Structure formats: C-alpha cells, structure tokens
Amino acid sequence: MVVFSMLTVSAGCASGTQPSAVSGRIDEIIAGMTLEEKAGQMVIADFRRWNADPEDENSAAVNVTELPGEVEDAIRNDFFGGIILFAENCAENDKTARLISRMQQANEEADRVNPVPLLIAVDQEGGGVTRLGEGTIWPGNMALAATGDPENAKTAALGIGKELRALGINTDFAPVVDVNNNPLNPVIGVRSFSDDPKIVTEYGVRFLNGLQESGTISSLKHFPGHGDVATDSHTGFPVVNKTYDELKECELIPFQAAIDAGADMVMTAHIQYPKIDDRTYTSISTGEEVCYPATLSDKILKDILRDDMGFEGVIVSDALNMAAIADNFAAEDVTVMALRAGIDMFLMPVPVTDKNSLDALEGFLQSICKLAEEGTIPESRLDESVRRILKMKEKHGLLDERFSEKAEQESGALSDLVGSSANRALDWELCCRSVKLLSDKNGVLPLKPAAGETVLFLYTAGSRIASADYAYQKLIAEGILSEDVTFQSMVCSADTAEACEAAVSEADDIIVVSTMFSSGELDPASESGAGSLVIDTLQQKAKEEKKPFILISAYLPYDVARYTDADAVLLTFGSKPLRELPEGNAAVPLNIPAAVCGIFGEYAFTGKLPVDIPALDDEYHLTDEILYPREVLPDAADN
C-alpha cells in the first residue's frame, strides 16, 4: 500500500534545509578537498563521441567504447562526480564493462588524499529510453501500467538494476514519475505510467523499490512535473501555467511518495512555472523575457522540494545543453543561477566531443572555483552539495569501492547477466500482458491465415519494419503459423500510397502499425498527418474487398481515436526501432512483436488502458470528451 503524504505550503521563503547528519568520515573527506575537487564532484560529464583531431576536416567523431587518452587524463585530473553513458558507449557488454572499469581506475589514480569513485549513470527507463545494446529493454512505463499489476514495475526495475550493476553502472536516471495529463505532450507520453497521479505513484514507487533492491542509485524525473507541456525542452522552452496548489493536486503526488520511499536523487525540469516563479531573464536568442525554469529557481527547488517536501538527497539538473537552457541563458549566468537555486550536480554542462570542448568543460569547472574564490558563491554552498553527494555515495558503498586491482569479467560471462535468456523471457511475458485489445468488433481475431495466404504489414515508421519478421519467426517456431504463410512489410506514407494500395489488393489480411509521435499526425491536412489520409484510403479499400483491417497503436495511444472503423484495434504503449532482425545478443524491443503474436492467437489479451483516450472533433483535434476511459485503477486502499 502506498501512503500519500500531504503537502503544505510553508509560511515564507526559506533558504533551504540542511541535509541530515552525515558521518564524520564525510566531513573528513570534505576538509581534505581542494576547491577544484569540490567543483569536480558537482559535475556529471558525458563522453559519447570523440573526434581525435577536430582541426582535420577528414577526421570524424567515433563512438567512445574505449577511453581516449585525453578523456582519461581529464578523468584523472578533474575529479568528476560522475559520468553519464549513452547508447554510443554501451553497444556491447564486454566493451562497456571494460570502459567503465577504466573510467573508475583513471579516477582512482587522481592525485588526492581520499579517492571518491564516480557515479556511472545512464538513462535506462525501459521501453523507448534504454541504452544497453545487449541488455533487456523491458516494456516501458505506460506498458507496465497496462499490465494492471504494480508489482510488474518492480520486477522490470529489479531486472534493469541488476543488469546495470553487472556492467558497473551504479546510477539510473529513473523512474520517470511525470503524470502524462496532457495528451499533446511531445516528450513524455508513454514514458509516463499514466495520466492519473495515483497510478503513477503506485507504479513509480514500485519501480523505485526494484532499483533499490538491486542496489542502484535512483533519480526521480522531471521535477516538478513534465507531463503537462506541449513543448519539448530538448528543442524549446515549455511553460506550465499552474499554481503550486494545482501542482499539489496532481504532479507532486508521485514525487512526494517516491521521496518518502527513499529516492536518492531528483532531476529537475527545464520548464517555466510563471505562477510560482515569475522572475524573468532576457533570452540570449530572442531578446524576450522568459521566466526562471525549475532548474534555476530556488522557489521551486528550495522552498518546495527541500522545505515543503522534505527532500534531503541530491538535486541533479537535467542536461544543461538542452535548448530550453542553452538557447535562452548565458552559460556564466546558468552556473550562478543554478548554484543559488540549489542544484547539487550539473548534468552535461558542456557536451564533450573533442579536445576543444574538453577544454571548455575544464573551463566550466574553473568558473565554479572562481565564483567561490571571489565570494559570489560561498564555498560553504559547494560544501553543502558535496556533502549530499558523498552521503549518497557512502549510502551505496561507493566510498569503499576500489577499482585498480579489480579483475574484469571473463569474456562472455556478462551475457548470463545482461540481456540473459531469463530476463528476455520475462520481458516477453510482460510485453504480452501489456497489449490492450481495444476492439474486435467484427470478430476477426485471432487471424488464422491458410497456407499460401499473405499478411500485409504497413508501418508508418520504417524504423520498426522488422518487428513482424521477428514475430513471424516465433510463430513459425511455435507451430502457430504455417511456413507457407507470407508476411509482407512496407512503409506506409504519402510517397508509397500507390504501392501500398496495390499490396492491399493482393494481400489477404492487412495490419497497420501506427507509431504516432505527435497530435499533428491525426490531421490529414497537416504535413505530419498526410500519412493518416493514406491509412484512411487503404482501410476503405480493404473494407470494399472484404479483407480484415487491423490497427496496432505502437506509440502514443491517442491515435486509436482516429481509426475507430478498423476491424480490430490493439495498443502496445511503446516500441523502440527494430530496423532489421537482431544478431547475436543484440537488444530486442518486444512490444510490437508481442502484439503481432497475440493477433495470431499465441496468448489471450489481458492488457488494460492506463490513460483516458479523448475523442476527436471534426478537425481532428483532441477534445475533452473521453472516447475510451482509463481502465487501470489505483489500489482502493490508497484512496
């Protein structure tokens, strides 16, 4: 049972609470630190790609799977608090483990009295946001909620955490506890568990529990809530016009419950909340006045997160190279504003791709030191953050880890832990449980194609085109499908409309895999929605020729309101690209293959709707009318 804490507004604006008592050992470490070491602890750097000679026009950046000498020296000399890895770093298990081991060893070789191991972090949310090239992908948050059992969120997170720890990754920027209460949201969507804060709380806390059980440091995101935006902060600067009281009624509920459950870190959102902090800054790009985003707002981070919600852990910024920050705020001002707001760790303050940008990152570290030396930011303010960081590292045993003499995993041994057959079998089971059969009004399911017949798959996103092929192999192996049945896959778009129409005439069954990424795709008159008109035409042709026409909604679920005339409609609540059949131990996204296998009767559908699906008006805009109501309900004991 999840207990919901009551949030209250403080009587005034305090300067922020101090972290709870820490061990004398941490005070001793801080006392022995130089200013440079303190500044370094507050930075989480990324080394995703590296160009060895940026001055040479023939030199190209390559993925960092082995540690470049310049980066190794920087890790040894700059005392970073952590490093974040991306898919470019994590293609193969053995290489990833060696890369991490070498990073930790280089850090341990630094010239300092008390070595402080690195946080090795990653965005391994499950579903669409995963980085391990040979790991298990798991269904994703909204798909987990569609299973109807919060314990499945814990199961997936425990699996994620164990795989990360096996590689040497000790920090996961998860769970996402944003409430997707705006269907127009272009960046959260299926990364959220639900549009209901109580459901997000139940599944989010269970996910957190799974990471905790695995020994992985967790980070809630994106505070105080990224679910009610219509702009992606990677490319724009979102605004949420809600009061603090309104946030307490929705967005802050899962954050508070997860904080009470022991979350280690909270990641901030680059979002403006003018009804909470109306202070403005002149945008360096547009010259317009913009409000302080949560990342740079002490009213949000100190007064609300620290004082009212009682969070004593580490506050980490979202990536500071995102457009919301980089396009609007001068870099030198961001540093001061973030420190005054209460940021403990700067995530990716300077994207590093070559020696020039590495110099810029080192310049950023020096700028923090200079602020403290000049008194613009008291050194005691740095001490507060470093104390929280070290406390977190101590809690998870990192201060006692030593890497210089660690033996690396035997080659191949990691495949028994990361992307193991047992994990992938469990992933398949959860994906199958998550598929929602929304309608089968003409009783066409399960499909039972006869030998010699053709099933046509039409994909609105060509990056998923191998999904049916993966399912085909499984259906053949299980004896569910005859080898004489043909699966044909095509990309469905305005450019391929004529060829798709001809294929519909020749096929016996038609399945459209719709991957809607924005609400504009619902409107056939818009540039992004041109493909929906093609689907309309193909559906009409299938109907005229009396052929089953089935729709799989494979990403944002709101497209099902657009295709209500399909013979059957299913939802998977997410998918990663699968452009070709996987080789070796490559990670496999299973959401769409699970839905395909369900269509042919491999299992009985049990998935539930975790969000309300709005109806469309005559101009294909989402309305306030609910066409399909949410089916996943919070535990009655929590209400």
Annotated catalytic residues are 234, 318
CA distances from 56 to 13, 59, 351, 513 (A): 53, 5, 20, 44
Burial string for 442-473 (b: 16+ CB within 10 Å, else e) reads eebbbbebeeeeebbbbbbbbebbbbbbbbbe
Enumerate the β-bridge partners of residue 628.
613
Longest CA–CA span in the chain (Å) reads 80
Residues across the chain: 639
Q: How far apart are CA 388 and CA 305, in angstroms?
A: 15
Enumerate the β-bridge partners of residue 491.
459
Q: Report the sign of the C-alpha dihedral through residues 583, 584, 590, 596, in that order.
A: positive
DSSP structural state of residue 3: P
Q: How far apart are CA 566 and CA 584, in angstroms?
A: 37
DSSP structural state of residue 494: G
- Measured in degrees and rounded to the nearest 5, phi and psi for residue 621 equal -100, 145
Cα 218 to chain center, whole Å?
13
Q: How far apart are CA 575 and CA 590, in angstroms?
A: 7
User: Side chain identity at 511, as an amino acid letter?
Assistant: I
What six digits make up the tokens of 592?
A: 């769409």
Query: SS3 for 200-240, per residue?
Result: HHHHHHHHHHHHHHHCCEEEEEEECCCCCCCCCCCCCCCEC
Q: How far apart are CA 420 and CA 427, in angstroms?
A: 10
Q: How far apart are CA 275 and CA 288, in angstroms?
A: 18
Q: How far apart are CA 571 and CA 514, in angstroms?
A: 10
Cα 466 to chain center, whole Å?
23
Place of tokens 């040979």: 134
Q: Which helix (H) or strand (E) holds 615?
A: strand 613-616
Q: How far apart are CA 164 and CA 336, in angstroms?
A: 34
Half-sphere CA count of 232, side-chain side, radius 13 A = 9
Q: How far apart are CA 38 and CA 377, in angstroms?
A: 13
What six digits make up the tokens of 479?
A: 């004896």
Cβ–Cβ under 8 Å, residues 592 and 419:
no
Half-sphere CA count of 154, side-chain side, radius 13 A = 11
What six digits make up the tokens of 4?
A: 């919901």
Instruction: Check whether the bond before 19 is cis (ω within 30° of 0).
Output: no
Place of tokens 């549009």: 195
Place of tokens 């994620």: 160
Q: How far apart are CA 126 and CA 591, in angstroms?
A: 11
